[in-house]
Chains A and B, each alone.
Chain A
């Protein structure tokens, strides 16, 4: 027989042992699945029998090779392949495959084994079976049981199997140290076993059994790493981080200019905005400074434009007053978040006007400006030209047809729209239809700049994030078109061009120059940053959310290339995806989500917010803010991991060594720890050099996890009570731990500056330069260094508190989790359907991958079915009339009202017709019934209690007919869509209904209101 397996595959060991027990000869052949010779193999190891049959399931092979050993054995065999093996593979995952949940699950499985072996010598009874061999050969590689506690029965069993001659023979040919579950990644084309979600047992926590990883990782350390760790760990007088008053780029040094997309002054920034640009930029800038680069971080508010003008009108202030007011708000929020801008400016400074006007003159004299007469939309009712954002209408792009497309961009298909091309445009303010008027505008000739731009993009986009590259390529593929840079507004920078005195620059022409003008506010030598002399290299990092990419990668660079005066062009566009709020969207109007000022009110420290947002940063794909995740990360990572380690190290030092850092005498254990830390340190530096802030956090936490593991295994508290040599050992452990704490403070600084400062105080130390070119841990605190007073750095976030916050900022979304149980009320189901509907829509919008959203759609359909059933089963107010034969007019009216209310709610919450249409149908049906009932009621004598006066039957009938006709008319008109046309007819309908109401004394339900409200 032949075993085909890959290098290090632990399941290969199992097959060899099984074959040995079955007394069959095997030959092991190491293969690579990428090798075309083996492309027929699905999963490794595969056993080829002498008759040519190939089997890849170890359990199937065990059952085939060894005769029937009973059902219990079969169950254990299945258990070992479907539960134990995936858990071990997850447990050994590193990097982005690391799974913090694996250890508890694995502990549960180990406990089950131990419990079972308590009462039975072997897994399936009194004799060794293939099940024992299977489980043993899974536990043996990676030394899973090394350092495990309270698993004596399992250990005993393990030992008994290990000494079996068959096992020993195999181990001689196949040493355990060459095997690891990591190798499973190369054992199939599905990425190993990582796609399997581990099953969390519903039983109580099994407790701590297995040792945390570290033992096994240590085996992978090479001698070179040990040597590097040993030589690096010496004390060198730390270079103090000196920051000049004004940072300027220097020739021959690394100069990093960082900008964050300018937040629009009118919006209160939410957490997504904050992590998308300002916070990311700040963390990166702090890192860059601590790596010793000349770093400048510039940001400010973007203040010009129609939105400001309009807000000013609404609040009865001047635009400048509005800007002043909101600027303070922004400034305060960013200050609270600890964003350390070198300068936080505004686009309404005088410098901005000068720079933009000069830039315009340069572009103009370079021949990149065209004048064209433009047809613009004028709203006669509001008496002004409508800026793009103030027109809405149907998207003109073929195949889209979205009804609420904005004048500059369609939210549905994402394409840019020309306001005049909108089908059936309407003024966003007054909803009336605007007219076309023409006026002269200036355009920047992007097509002329295109060749230069393409050439530049090809060179520059290596340093950009993937999404930035994709978006830019898409723009270039479609070809550039001239873009209008002037507007008929007042609140903006005047255009210095004859005939255009009354116009201003469009914000997208002026805003990017804000980066330059704000630098000018910071220093008069701003040109050293933006137009550096030959020999001085400035790297420009621009942080933004992905919707801002085209303006930073195409439009502004085109302008600068057109000016051709050696401007610094962006070398690194750092674009994030979107941050969702608990799987929904942030929405100010619906009170959903956490906004900048809310974060402050929660009482959770700014640093914790910074930490959480950075670790949930939407790098590469959208991510979600979640309260539970926030609490979990705070409690498990900050408090239990990082805080716990640092605090233990310092408290031991204070209590046992009189606050003096003891001498560190490195032994093999310390060197292994340092080598592991150096690995993570390198990862941290590499990640942050590329502004991968999320990965940086992971490496940082891994360092303190190593530290914790080290303390846990060394147990200095035991050694401290021992003899002299043991005390010396304890001193080394504490001394090294204090040094790691100091390293952590340095690494933590970009993310949590004030926490890091507190920690430096506790260490009585200062921040030191990170050596990015040679990232190795050094001795930061020499023996005899006196530390300060240790105190806990983090506080626990209690679940009750988090639940409270969740309710407060959750809007309606918080209540969706009740959709699980079988018997749900109609209301619950409706809510669940709404939530699920939202989810489906979002999924569909975000991805085209059907396999992703189809399951959710199925869930939605299932829910709808359930609702139908529930409605039938539980006769609600709505359904009651149809059951009780001839319902009274009153009942029907109530039902109509209730149903009308329901329809309105549904319509306001969703635009998905398929959701509300059925309810509308129910409503229409009810109305028909009501009509009929009213007819019979008016014919028959009406009970005195229900109506004070008997209405004139004839009159009522006539009115009802009219209403029915008018209703029909309104419905057909509405179907055609144009509000201006159907509105007056609705008025007529309503007045008719009122008339009827006065006659019958019953208030008319007015479903039309719902519809007109739907459109915001």
Chain B
């Protein structure tokens, strides 16, 4: 999950060349760019942010406090969101936790988009994709955050938009899946 594909996506987001991204001997994601190699998802994201001049990157390093928080959410995405999405119970807890977090926030850190949002967005993408409209509605705050992010073309990167409409017809169209 927090692997090669995600690193490339985030590099695109930040308008930085992803360089060569692969898994090393320890099965840890590695980026080689300009003859420098960096190991580890969070460390790679930090170097990407250093190279980038995008809004997201600048936001992410606006203060030491922000940096620390951004880092912890990236780590949270790696340790909990990505592997936890595969476990039914952990996944439920994660959704509930994020929903609670977004009660009074629009972004994970501060009042602006940061790498923290991107890391969690891509890590939680498949989980959110699998939610039924009713479930999406029960995680309303999380859905709002997610829908808001996916409207950004640099985040969405051409994927079809997930449906967050709350007028659901599926109740009587039982035979249809997404």
Which chain A residues have a beta carbon within 8 Å of chain B's beta carbons? 42-43, 51, 53, 55-57, 59-61, 63-64, 71, 74-75, 78-79, 81-83, 86, 108, 112, 188-191, 193, 195-197, 199-203, 399, 849-852, 854-855, 858
Contact = CB atoms under 8 A, between A and B. Distances in A.
A354 B17 CA distance: 85
Given A71-B43, A78-B42, A201-B25, A60 B69 contact: yes
Interface string B142-178: 0000000000000000000000000000000010000
Closest 4 CB pairs of A and B: A57-B72, A78-B40, A199-B27, A64-B68
A202 B27 contact: yes
A107 B84 CA distance: 25
B102 interface: no
A189 B93 contact: yes
B79 A193 contact: yes
Contact of A190 (B38, B39, B94): B94
Contact of B64 (A64, A83, A850): A64
Contacts of A51: 65
B43 A195 contact: no
B32 interface: no
A196 B80 CA distance: 8
Contacts of A53: 65, 68-69
A55 B72 contact: yes
B140 interface: no
Nearest to A201: B26
A201 B40 CA distance: 14
B120 interface: no
A188 B42 CA distance: 21
A193 B67 CA distance: 24
Contacts of A74: 40, 42-43, 46
A855 B27 contact: no
A195 B84 CA distance: 6
A63 B97 CA distance: 25
A63 B67 CA distance: 9
Given A61-B68, A854-B126, A83 B26 contact: yes
Nearest to A105: B26
A82 B82 CA distance: 12
Interface in B96-140: 97, 126-127, 129-132
Contact of B75 (A81, A203, A852): A81
13 contacts: A64-B68, A74-B40, A74-B42, A78-B43, A81-B79, A86-B79, A190-B80, A190-B84, A195-B86, A195-B90, A199-B28, A202-B27, A851-B127
A82 B25 contact: no
Given A193-B79, A850-B132, A75 B38 contact: yes
A61 B85 CA distance: 26
A75 B43 contact: yes
Most A Cβ at <10 Å: residue of B72, B83, B88: B72
A196 B83 contact: yes
Nearest to A847: B88
A852 B92 CA distance: 12
A203 B24 CA distance: 10
Nearest to B101: A42
Most B Cβ at <10 Å: residue of A51, A78, A850: A78
Contacts of B41: 78, 82
Contact of B68 (A42, A60, A399): A60
Given A59-B71, A203-B25, A75 B80 contact: no
Contacts of B72: 55-57, 59-60
Contacts of B91: 851
B26 A199 contact: yes
Interface of B: 25-28, 38-43, 46-47, 64-65, 67-69, 71-72, 75-76, 78-80, 83-91, 93-94, 97, 126-127, 129-132, 174
Contacts of A64: 64-65, 67-68
A795 B63 CA distance: 64
B27 A201 contact: yes
A86 B28 CA distance: 14
Contacts of A201: 25-27
Given A75-B39, A199-B26, A199-B27, 9 more contacts: A42-B76, A43-B80, A59-B71, A60-B72, A79-B39, A82-B28, A83-B28, A201-B27, A854-B130
Contacts of B126: 854-855, 858
B88 to A, nearest CB: 6
A83 B29 CA distance: 12
Contacts of A858: 126
Given A55-B69, A850-B130, A82 B40 contact: yes
B38 A82 contact: no
Nearest to B93: A189
Contacts of A399: 174
Nearest to A112: B26
B85 A851 contact: yes
Contacts of B84: 190, 195
Nearest to A855: B126
Nearest to A56: B72
Nearest to A852: B88
Contacts of B28: 79, 82-83, 199
Contacts of B27: 199-202
Contacts of A57: 68, 71-72, 75-76
A63 B71 contact: yes
Nearest to B72: A57
A56 B74 CA distance: 12
Contact of B38 (A63, A71, A86): A71
A969 to B, nearest CB: 29
Nearest to B129: A854
Given A57-B72, A196-B83, A190 B88 contact: no
Contacts of A191: 89-90
Contacts of A852: 88
Contacts of A60: 68-69, 71-72, 75
A196 B25 contact: no
B68 A63 contact: yes
Given A195-B87, A850-B130, A851-B88, A59 B75 contact: yes
A40 to B, nearest CB: 8
Most A Cβ at <10 Å: residue of B26, B67, B129, B132: B26
